[in-house]
Structure 1
Amino acid sequence: MTAVVQPVSWALTLALFVLTYLLGSLSGSLLLGRLRGVDIRTLGSGNAGGTNALRTQGWRFALGTVLIDIGKGALAAWLAVHWMPDSTRAWAVYAALLATVAGHVWPVFHGFRGGKGAATLVGALAVAWPAALPVILAVWLLSLLSTGYVGLSTVLAAISLPLFALASGAGAIRIVFALVVAALLAYTHRANLARLRAGTESRFERVHVLRRRKARR
């Protein structure tokens, strides 16, 4: 029986990896852009994510983009949590989440040029690791309000994930997952970090609370 079950188990695991990657490849901004006749990768920062969607297409388009990207991350995580075989579930769920984020960053349906993976990660964590979500969202929001930089805030939020994993005793699999995700988001935001060092990074002044308070003094 074991000789029969194991190949089937690994085949299902591999199939779910492929499926979650394909789900990740469904980019919200690019799908909505086709309906509008635009490719936001040719506008603004050239990124197919929610921030560039907001700056170039407005808040409704950006909201649709973020909802799709979060939703596909949540769906991929649900499929992984509920359909991964027992023999591989402990680690395969988190490998599938990485596949989903990788699909968003390098989407097969859009010439392997996608977004940066943050919204998709949020959706995935909401299902597979909900305890981590308030921490990274709090770090992201506090950083955004104090600096006004979306990219920097996202990188700091990503870095907080492995710190949370270590502090909460999350276990080796989640710690490795968190480290890989943090490194991946730092990589996808490397242009933002370079512009930040050069002093040319765009800032969302409306949410930059600290600067507004200084200006009133």
Structure 2
Amino acid sequence: MSESSRDAVLARIRQGLAAGAAPLPPRPDFAAPVHPPLGNADPVVAFAESFQRVGGEFYYCESLPHLAAQLAGLQKRQQVGVPFVWEPEMQALLYKAGVAFRADESEFLERADLGLTSCEALVARTGSVLVSAATASGRRLSIYPDQHLVLARPGQVVAEIGEALQLLQARYGAQLPSMVSLTTGPSRTADIEKTLVLGAHGPRRIALFLLEEEEV
């Protein structure tokens, strides 16, 4: 370093020391919420927006006939057969709606185009679907089929992930399910050459049917 360069560096150091210590950053407000308010005051609308933003397909169903029509439309567009449905409560609901389904596991590995399950909660902040192994769908029906269909109610929507986990704990107490998963959009990866691939580790498509509460 030349003499002039050394003098210039030392001059800047002396100037900085003369200015005194740098001001401290403002103290965080630890009582303030971590996230800003949701983009929409209605958590159901906020969930629908977030869910579609991460690649999910959202279907609002105001009645059982409407649910049947929406399911039939999806099957026709995707050119797939009837879904596998293993939860007794959901089977009863679909039977009432006149929707065909496969209740057993025969040919599951060969014909698992669609799997229809319930969920534990829906998270508006991230558009995530909280599923667990506690239902008759088990671990497989939300993971193995090419397309995962979810039937949920507006009352299952919560704002944040923490609220969803609290619901889970309140429901099961110390006997938590052996598997809990937050599904956010279809399965995807870009590990190889940064090329996005859908369906790498799970369903290639996820669709949610939100059925109004009064429809039982």
Asked if these proteins are the same fold (TM beyond 0.5), I'd say no
Class of the TM-score when normalised by the shorter of the 2 chains: under 0.3
- Structure with the greater alpha carbon radius of gyration: 2
> Which protein is richer in strand relative to its size?
2
Q: TM-score, normalised by structure 1?
A: 0.24
> Which protein is richer in helix relative to its size?
1
